[in-house]
Amino acid sequence: MIATSPPLVLIHGIGLDRTIWDGMLPALEADRQVVSYDLPGHGVAPDPLVEPTLRAFADHAITVMDDHGIDRAVLVGFSLGGMVNRRVGMDHPDRVAGLVVIASPHKRSPEAQRLVEERATATARWGMASTIDVTLDRWFTPEFRDDQPEVVADVRRRVLATDSEALARARHVLATGVDELVRPNSLPDLPLLVMTGDHDSGSTPDMARAIASEASSGEVVIVPGVRHLGLLEAPDRFADPLVRFLARSGRLPG
């Protein structure tokens, strides 16, 4: 491991767990420490959040870093995780060597905001099963669902096995937390890479460009041919730009 390479901390999205990163780990672990963890109430993690806020998720990420003895890291966040790492960057810039935001939302249109709030309400009232089919359609391309039904089935199983209260908390934060990340509460001047799929309807290419524009060093990569869960469909298409970004920022102290 190169001593001057800051560690990576990987933060997944709603209803998933740390295994979402497995396809990218061989490329990421070559020269640095990599830590992935389960969000509160997801995977094997308990749900210790006192209140469902983006800042609570960000504080939890700092606790994970402390538990692993990490003073400063590049934070890689997918979807809700990309909101969490931006909040960490705003609240604790001294702990962040760089940010990678993948398939994460920014300011929504009124109609898009209404839809995401309706999904959050449905999850809180009836559980994730009430929206899982629509969710999987937004997450995967039809071609991938036809070619890899076992992967889609595994994602469905993991989502439905996630604690219902934790899912409701997370969806509430996804729906309500974006405004606190938008100007004038802009990101600190940190190395920033923003990626999303060209067919991601909830974290669109325009959103990715808007996020990148809020940091002077922001870079954008639009990944072709995938929807929201491109990390599973085509992990190399995300890992390769990420590795190049890390090589450019690898001289930052950890």
pLDDT digits (tens, 9 = 90+) for 96-123: 999 999 999 999 999 998 989 888 888 8
- Please tell me the pTM assigned to this model: 0.93
Residue 162 CA to residue 170 CA, distance in Å, equals: 11
What's the pLDDT score for residue 24?
94
Residue 235 CA to residue 195 CA, distance in Å, equals: 12
The one-letter code for the residue type at 93 is: P
Chain CA centroid to CA 184, Å: 22
What's the pLDDT score for residue 4?
59
Which burial class, exposed, middle or buried, applies to 164 when counting CB atoms under 10 A from its CB (0-12, 13-18, 19+)? middle
Average pLDDT, stretch 40-57? 86
Residue 193 φ/ψ, nearest 5 degrees: -120, 130
Is residue 177 scored above 70 in pLDDT? Answer: yes
What is the second-level CATH architecture of the domain 8-249? 3-Layer(aba) Sandwich (3.40)
List Cα–Cα distances, 121 to 138, 165, 202, in angstroms. Answer: 18, 12, 17
Task: Evaluate whether 215 touches 86 at the Cβ level (below 8 Å).
Answer: no
- Of 41-45, 151-155, 185-189, where does mean pLDDT reach its minimum? 185-189
pLDDT digits (tens, 9 = 90+) for 204-223: 999 999 999 988 889 999 99
Task: Evaluate whether 62 touches 95 at the Cβ level (below 8 Å).
Answer: yes
What's the pLDDT score for residue 124?
81
pLDDT digits (tens, 9 = 90+) for 11-33: 999 999 999 999 999 999 988 99
Percentages (nearest 5) of helix, strand, coil residues in the chain: 50, 15, 35
Query: How would DSSP label each residue in 171-202?
Result: HHHHHHSGGGGSTTSPPPS--EEEEEETT-SS
Q: In this prediction, what percent of the chain has a pLDDT beyond 70?
A: 94
The domain locations on the chain are 8-249
Q: In this prediction, what percent of the chain has a pLDDT beyond 90?
A: 71
What's the pLDDT score for residue 250?
56
